[in-house]
Chain A
Amino acid sequence: MAKKKSKKTSTSLYGNYNDMLKSRFESLKIQPGDHIVIKYGEKNIDGNLMAQTEMGDPSSIVVKLDNGYNIGIKVDETVHIIKKAGSVDLEKFQIRVPKQKKGLPGITLLGTGGTIASRIDYKTGGVVMAMEPEEIFASLPELFEEVSFDDVKSLFTLASEDLASPQWKVMAKHSADAINDGTRGVVLLHGTDTMGYSSAALSFMLPDVPVPVVFTGAQRSSDRGSFDGAFNLISAARIAANADIASVMVCMHGSSNDDYCNISRGTKVRKMHTTRRDAFLTINDTPMMNIDYQGIMNELNNDLPRRKKGNVDPKLEYDEKVALIKIYPGIAPDLMDYYIDKGYHGLIIEGTGLGHVPSFPPKEDNRDFLHAVKRAVDEGIFVGMTSQCLNGRVHPYVYRSTRITYQSGVIYLEDMLPETALIKLGWTLANYEDKSVAKIMSSNLAGEISSRSYYQEYMRNEI
């Protein structure tokens, strides 16, 4: 298969202008950024041409006026456009890398894309992932007072929804190489939407990791003074360089204030809000530590894996034939049949409550999901049970339906997050023999299963 071309950052030079305007601009050799005068009826507009956005009116010319404002002027073919001297370069970004200081702890920075590595595309007015990691440094000069960079690399510029196991492998491989080359820690810039999936993946792919591997990102865009990614990145860099902790982790705002970041275990963290800075919560655990604005670290968990000497032996294989099924009232059992017929190797069920699937519905409803689950198990497919409550643990003995589900061969995965379970399953199936899959899935490898549930781990609505 041919390699996919990398995505363009701008849709096209002119964006969404209609054909009349596009051909007019082309014949006049006018490009976005060029200084133009539009004469239309009594209107006489002087400014710099901007591209029209996907949602804009194709027959309106967007002009940046001298005072910085953009306006749209609707025209037809009677418009008179004149090109003038004095164009502005709309995409000029300076990349300023401050000089590295000697004697500072060296860390590795890997970019994957996401909001933290995005900036505004001034041609289209949209947000694009085109930022080199270095571009962020321009607004973070203080970073260079505390750490040095062994390596700064942009692995991809992808939105987090476009990342999957091929990218996890690349992230894990580069992290492992850097670690084995002696870096103090790794920071990964990542889109926030699937950061929890990637952090889970690397948690398993880098077994017994000897140094911090820290994912971080941003919930606000980098153009604004309130950019949260700056504090997240500084904190992540400090953790990578200095924290006495060895794990794959997520470092994001711990509150809506810019006062501290929480460091969550890569297997126990979930994005729980679409937009807030403090969207990431540790579920069924306490954060490992937090770090305040001055960089003071505060350990919150008694059971922290400590930084140590030595290399990491990455286990990068991943079986993509796994799926996550969310149970809902009325779910059709043939959804299960689909996966079985398509040859899936493993399934994680996000059951209701303690880990239920519809087991004894009225006969005439034809909704016996348990029957389909049994078929999967009988065909040798691993089926694991988690809960859509997210908070808390599944339990196979409390109700008749869970007992039967359990007895049919479904493995109850304690307090593991459904997404973490899915990724652990893909990784386990690819790296272990079939007979040990159930055992591996039920054992705690990277903090994904905790033996006790503590009172303070559940976040309630407290007003």
Chain B
Amino acid sequence: MKFETKAPTDIDYEKEGTMIGLEFHQQVLAPYGDDDLNEKHGGKLFCACPAYLRDDEAHFTLKRRFRAMAGETGDVDITAQFEKMKQGTTIYEAFHDTTCLVELDEEPISPINENAMFRALAMAKKLFKLELVDEILVSRKTIIDGSNTSGFQRTALIAYEGKNSYIDVNGKKIGIYQANLEEDSAKNMGKEGAIKKYRLDRLGIPLIEIATKPDMRTPEEGLATAMRIGELLRTTGFVRRGQGTIRQDLNVSIKKGTRIEIKGVSDLDLVQLYIRNECIRQIRMLEFLKILETRKITSTMIKKMKGKDVSKLFKNCDAKFIKSALKKKHKVIGTIVPEFKGLIGYELQPDYRVGTEFSEIAKVTAGAGGILHSDELPKFGITQEEVDSVRAQLKAGENDGFVLIIGPKEVGMRTVEGLKMAISLWLESDGLIPEVRSPRADGTTGYLRPLPGKARMYPETDAKPISISKYINKIEKLEFEMPEDRIKRYISKMKLSEELAIQLSVHPQNTFFEELVAKNKVDANIVANTLMSTVINLRRANIPVDRITNKDYHQIFSAIGKGVISKDSIDKLLTAIANSDKKTSVNKLIKSLGLEMMNEEDVRETISKVVDENASFLERGMGAMGPLMGKCMKVLSGKADGKLISKLLKEEIQSRLK
């Protein structure tokens, strides 16, 4: 069978029968307790820890090992079994003050975060017109990749599809069929050798998951829907914002293909590319399976693959990476892939070959760094001679391909087992296998694991069923302002610029912004600028602005509203608060920094002094205004309004010129 090695870069989505659905995950902002960190960052779903994401060094680490356990139906979950092959040890990074025994899987959960539950229910009902369940039942979803210390994720279905459960995306109805409230997983911190590392600051943050029906037909529709859902959620002020607070799973299928889940896409810019490349991959994979069939490759042949230590053949190899590997006592493990010659370079996605897929399989099944394969060699400093000797040693037939894994011997051997399992699954199933794929930075997707079956959900024993009846009235009364309406109000009533209004309309702090303006009788623009630019600039300058509490903000704007300090002092004051011991009150800081504004008489006196000291400028007549204003501002900045200084200086100069 003839085939094109290169994958196409575009396809006819309609002709292929493309269907796209989204599972949109957004962190919910919901304090569990009333401490400052909880107030500011929100809390977790099942313990009183703050949802505080940290960049500093962990206070301590724990090491755990996971096992596949028999599930509800008595079978060990296929996904869990697959993960078990990895035999991974996991290291968890934790903090003495912002993580507790619940995240460490050392204590049963506390009662559910009621704020989070209320907010999630309200969003499900009001934004997406879903039907709320009457009783929320928390389940455990088996996940033993290490991202949850317990080996499962707690999740609850809170709302299901009703008659009007859809959103309007550019005039098209996109159906919404379910909302879940669940725990976020621990943050992946990479690997230390073969050991996976996770950080527990993120584990347990409440997530609302909004699942759409597969109503999107093109990558453009996929992106537009994701953006609209995000916008709607953010307009409520009930969600957290910033990098990593949103993740979505994309479910993509073509008519002849199958449902593939692309897990954890956080970069909206790449959504279209992932959808496109997945459609291409399904088309290409189907063609590839046909090629395998014409070559009469069977799973029995594949299951005979065996890893062999061929390190000796590379004793004198010039390739640096091989030299350094052998020095570390790593091995070169080789296996033939029967009848695969010329197929490993076949592209499944643009610039993503079967060999790349092998690499991804090696990575997830064995923690291998990567592989080399027959279709790309000789290259990278490996000679034709070495290739020939590998073929001879592996007893490769003329049409056999081969794969080399460089690393610890067991990693190599496990990789061979992983490849055997994956390729024989391709051959044994009729068509494509439903699987979970991970988004790669270049817009392609890599193999992650088979799509888990039903066995992985069972009841959370440490939580009681929660009747939602007491929230119903409050939810009914709640009106969310749509982003469009909020922008209008910000422009017309609060006199914000259009740009600021658009930014703030979907900002999670917009309710806080309005509260600051209303309570402290202060110009909305001052508050908006502070939240949207001053704070962000300070953060960029490495000022620990997260230490500033909501109470601090109220005190600052109250001081401005009362005319105690000038708005020009805000960044100085914020910096001081962020760097303070947090025991000194804001008002004391204002005094000790000398930020209190002067009364008009004192300002006039100061200006008079400045003019005295710089009398020579007066020779320029009113032309002295410029240089003298500079001198005055130096002394008075932050202590008096610029306009007032200018007015009084003008009067002073005029009186002296008389």
In the complex, chain A residues whose CB is within 8 Å of the CB of B75: 94
State which of A93, A225, A275, A276 has its C-beta within 8 Å of the C-beta of B142: A225
**Given contacts A56-B465, A60-B467, are A92 and B73 in contact (CB under 8 A)?**
yes
Q: B residues within 8 A CB of A256?
A: 62, 104, 106
Segment from A17-25, A122-130, A343-351, A372-380 that makes contact with B: A122-130
Contacts of B141 in A (CB 8 A): 68
A69: chain B residues at CB < 8 Å are 137, 139, 155-157, 180, 457
- Residues of B whose CB lies within 8 Å of any CB of A are 62-76, 80, 96, 101, 104-108, 131, 133-137, 139-144, 149-152, 155-157, 160, 162-163, 178, 180, 454, 456-459, 461, 464-465, 467, 469
Of A53, A71, A220, the residue contacting B133 (CB under 8 A) is: A71
Contacts of B131 in A (CB 8 A): 43
Tell me if A42 counts as interface (CB < 8 A to partner B): yes
Closest partner residue, chain A, to B59 (CB atom): A463
Tell me, yes or no, whether A258 is within 8 Å of chain B by CB.
yes
* Contacting pair A71 B467 (CB below 8 A): no
Max chain B CB contacts within 10 Å: which of A90, A222, A230, A257? A257
Q: Which of A53-87 contact B (CB under 8 A)?
A: 53, 55-57, 60, 62, 65-74
Query: CA A463 – CA B95 in complex, angstroms?
Result: 12
Q: Which residues from chain A contact B68 at a C-beta distance below 8 Å?
A: 139, 225
Chain A 334-352 interface 0/1 with B at a Cβ cutoff of 8 Å (1 = within):
0000000000000000000
Does A135 interact with chain B (Cβ within 8 Å)? yes
Closest to A88 in B: B73
Q: Do A223 and B140 form a contact, CB below 8 Å, given A71-B160, A275-B107, A276-B101? A: yes
Q: Is A259 among interface residues, defined by CB-CB distance under 8 A?
A: yes
A-B contact count (CB 8 A): 155
Alpha-carbon gap, A72 to B76, bound state (A) = 27
Contact (A275, B108) CB under 8 Å given A120-B461, A227-B69:
yes
Do the beta carbons of A226 and B72 come within 8 Å of each other? Answer: no
For A226, the chain B residues whose CB sits under 8 A away are 64, 66, 105, 149-151
A440 interfacial contact with B, CB 8 Å: no
A45–B160 Cα distance when bound, in Å, is 10
B-contacting residues, A106-157, CB 8 Å:
120, 122, 125-127, 135, 138-140
Of residues 200 to 234 in A, which have CB atoms within 8 Å of B's CB atoms? 219-227, 230-231
A367 at the interface (CB under 8 A from B): no
Residue of B nearest to A75 (CB): B134
- If A56-B465, A57-B467, A94-B74 touch, does A73 touch B134 (CB 8 Å cutoff)? yes
Chain B, Cβ-Cβ closest to A273: B106
Chosen A-B contacts, 18 in total, with CB atoms closer than 8 Å, are A55-B464, A65-B157, A69-B156, A71-B137, A72-B135, A72-B137, A72-B467, A74-B469, A88-B73, A92-B73, A92-B74, A94-B75, A120-B72, A223-B69, A224-B151, A225-B66, A225-B151, A275-B108
Q: Which residues does chain B contribute within 8 Å of A68, judged by CB atoms?
A: 139, 141, 454, 456-457
B69, B144, B151 pick with most chain A CB within 10 angstroms: B69
Chain B residues with Cβ below 8 Å from A231 are: 65
A230 proximity list for chain B (CB < 8 A): 67
Chain B residues, Cβ within 8 Å of A94: 70, 74-75
Instruction: Using CB atoms, name the residue of chain A closest to B135.
Output: A72
Task: Return the CB mask of A425-463 against B: 1 if under 8 Å, else 0.
Answer: 000000000000000000000000000000000000001
Q: Which residues of A contact B144 (CB under 8 A)?
A: 225
- What are the residues of chain A within 8 A of B180 when measuring CB–CB? 69
Taking A67-B454, A67-B457, A226-B150 as given, write out 18 further A-B residue pairs in contact, using a Cβ cutoff of 8 Å, ordered by the A residue number.
Answer: A42-B163, A67-B157, A68-B139, A68-B141, A70-B157, A71-B133, A72-B133, A74-B469, A125-B137, A139-B68, A139-B69, A222-B69, A223-B70, A224-B152, A225-B150, A225-B152, A226-B64, A257-B63
Query: Using an 8 Å CB-CB cutoff, how does the interface string of A6-28 with B read, 1 for contact, 0 for none?
Result: 00000000000000000000000
Q: Once the chains are docked, how many angstroms separate the CA of A70 from the CA of B65?
A: 29
Interface residues of A in 323-343 (CB under 8 A from B): none
Whole-angstrom distance between the alpha carbons of A259 and B74 in the complex?
Answer: 28
In the assembled complex, the Cα of A122 lies from the Cα of B160 at a distance in Å of 23
Whole-angstrom distance between the alpha carbons of A69 and B460 in the complex?
A: 11
- Give the docked Cα–Cα distance between A138 and B157 (Å): 31
Smallest CB gap from B211: residue in A: A67
Bound state CA distance, A221 and B72, in angstroms? Answer: 13
In the complex, residue of chain B having the shortest beta-carbon distance to the beta carbon of A43: B131
Which residues of chain A from 262 to 306 have a CB within 8 Å of any chain B CB? 274-277, 293
A62 CB → nearest B CB, Å = 7
Question: What's the minimum C-beta distance from B579 to chain A, rounded to whole angstroms?
Answer: 25
Q: Does A89 contact B (CB under 8 A)?
A: yes
Nearest CB of B to A145, in Å: 14
- Contact yes or no, B70 A135, CB < 8 A: yes
Q: Please name all residues of chain A whose beta carbon is closer than 8 Å to the beta carbon of B136 when the two chains form the complex.
A: 71-72
Taking A53-B465, A94-B75, A224-B151 as contacts, is the C-beta distance between A293 and B135 under 8 angstroms?
no
Residue of B at shortest CB range from A136? B70
Q: Which residues of A contact B67 (CB under 8 A)?
A: 139-140, 225, 227, 230
B40 → A minimal CB distance (Å): 25
| A73/B140 contact (C-beta < 8 A), A120-B459, A225-B150 known | no
Q: Given the complex, which residues of A lie within 8 Å of B62, measured CB to CB?
A: 256-257
- Whether the Cβ atoms of A277 and B106 lie closer than 8 Å is yes
Instruction: Using CB atoms, name the residue of chain B closest to A45.
Output: B160
User: A62 and B137: CB pair below 8 A?
Assistant: yes
Q: Which residue of the partner chain A has the closest CB to B157?
A: A69
CB of B177 to closest CB in A, whole Å: 10
Task: Decide if A224 touches B69 in the complex (CB within 8 Å).
Answer: yes
In the bound complex, residues from chain A placing their C-beta under 8 Å from that of B458 are 120, 122, 223
Query: Could you say which residues of chain B place their CB within 8 Å of the CB of A53?
Result: 464-465
Given contacts A71-B157, A275-B107, contact A42 B137 (CB under 8 A): no
Would B459 and A293 count as touching, CB distance under 8 A?
no
Q: Note all chain A residues with C-beta closer than 8 A to B64.
A: 226, 257-258
**Hey, what's the 0/1 contact readout for A225-269 against B, CB within 8 Å counting as 1?**
111001100000000000000000000000011110000000000
A45 to B162, CA, bound (A): 11
Measured CA separation A77–B454 after assembly (Å): 32
The 3 A-B pairs at the shortest CB distance, nearest first, are namely A225-B151, A72-B135, A68-B457
In the complex, which residues of chain A have a beta carbon less than 8 angstroms from the beta carbon of B155? 69
CA distance A219 to B157 in the complex (A): 28
Complex alpha-carbon distance, A94 and B69, angstroms: 12
- A122-B459, A224-B150, A225-B151 known; A72 and B66 CB under 8 Å? no
Complex alpha-carbon distance, A220 and B462, angstroms = 12
Which of B69, B80, B134, B461 lies in contact with A74, CB distance below 8 A?
A: B134
Name which of B76, B133, B136, B152 has the most chain A CB atoms within 10 A of its CB. Answer: B133
Residues of A within 8 A of B142 (CB): 225
Q: In the complex, how many angstroms separate the beta carbon of B136 from the nearest chain A beta carbon? A: 7
**Residue from B65, B135, B180 with most neighbouring chain A CB atoms (10 Å):** B135
A57 / chain B contacts, CB cutoff of 8 Å: 134-135, 465, 467
Which A residue sits closest to B134, measured CB to CB? A74
Considering the complex, give the chain A residue whose CB is closest to the CB of B133: A71
A126-B135 in contact given A225-B152, A226-B149, A463-B96 (Cβ < 8 Å): no
- Residue contact B461 to A127, C-beta cutoff 8 Å: yes
Chain A residue contacts of B178, Cβ below 8 A? 67
In the complex formed, the residue of A with least CB distance to B456 is A68
Q: Determine the chain B residues whose CB is within 8 A of the CB of A127 once the complex forms.
A: 461
- B467, chain A: closest CB distance, angstroms: 5
Closest to A274 in B: B107
User: CA of A26 to CA of B108 in the docked complex: distance in angstroms?
Assistant: 36
Closest-by-CB residue of B relative to A257 is: B63
CB A123 to nearest CB in B, in angstroms, measures 10
